[in-house]
Homo-oligomer: A and B are copies of this chain.
Amino acid sequence: MPRQSDPHAKIKLLTAAEEEFVEHGLDRAKVEDISARAGLSKGAFYLHFASKEDAFKQLVETTLARLAHFVDAIPREEANEVFEDMARSMEFWLAKDLEIFEFIWQNRGLMRLLLEGGSSLRYRHLMDEFAERTRHVIVQSIALGAGRGFYRDDLDSDLASAFIAGAYDRYARQLVQLAKKPDLEGALRKMQTMVVRGVGSDALLAHVRPRAAAVSGDSPVIVPAQPVGPTRALAGGDR
């Protein structure tokens, strides 16, 4: 049994590959550069991966799988009776959001690549699949909340989902660009407040920042600079 293979080789290659993909996108990342960055040769790369795309797929699939794991857990937990209580329900969702966005932060390089689409059009389906799967979980999860009068009854479900998804989606896109980790919990709490104001029933709304806002705790920032208006739609429309 002569010569042992470097047990870290594959990990080093995956790390290097992620960095190169994030920097240049799938198409323009070069296998030579990936192996060089890992301190190995081109040949070594092909000992561990069938092709450049194979490495990419492994990266993306494992990341999305781990992300999906958080989502898949929801239906089970939701059978719980906490959902009879709106306040506790909101806390549950907040905790879920926090878990998910924490993961996004930790994997911000790859997530940025996926969200910004540097993975060439042929890989959109991976993201789409994940999205569809998530949507399905959400639909069944939330049916409960709907029955419990959590939401306004005059909503257009397509638009409301665009509305909610858009807000969190955009925050995710913003997050992966940051250099320093922000106060995730505070941000998600505020986001939840705005979303609930937008689509929640009056009953649910009562559980959100009960009355006046500026009491003490988590600094409701008053910012005259860059106020907000009903446009900015579009593209990277904001920072």
A232 at the interface (CB under 8 A from B): yes
A121 at the interface (CB under 8 A from B): yes
Chain copies in the assembly? Answer: 2
A221 touches B164 (CB 8 A): no
Q: Which residue of B lies closest to A193 (CB)?
A: B198
Q: Please report the C-alpha to C-alpha distance between residue A214 and residue B154 in the assembled complex, in whole angstroms.
A: 7
- Contacts of A45 on B, CB cut-off 8 Å? none
**Chain A contact residue count (CB 8 A cutoff):** 96
Q: Please report the C-alpha to C-alpha distance between residue A171 and residue B230 in the assembled complex, in whole angstroms.
A: 13
Interface centre among A142, A156, A234 (most CB of B within 10 A): A234
B172 touches A169 (CB 8 A): no
Q: Please report the C-alpha to C-alpha distance between residue A127 and residue B74 in the assembled complex, in whole angstroms.
A: 36
Q: How far is the CB of A168 from chain B (nearest CB, A)?
A: 3
A141 at the interface (CB under 8 A from B): yes
- Contacts of A118 on B, CB cut-off 8 Å? 117, 120-121
Q: Please report the C-alpha to C-alpha distance between residue A67 and residue B236 in the assembled complex, in whole angstroms.
A: 14
Q: Which residues of A contact B (CB under 8 A)?
A: 23-25, 27-28, 67, 71, 74, 90, 93-94, 96-97, 100-101, 104, 114-118, 120-121, 124, 127-128, 130-135, 138-139, 141-143, 145-146, 150-172, 174, 187, 190-192, 194-199, 209, 213-214, 220-239
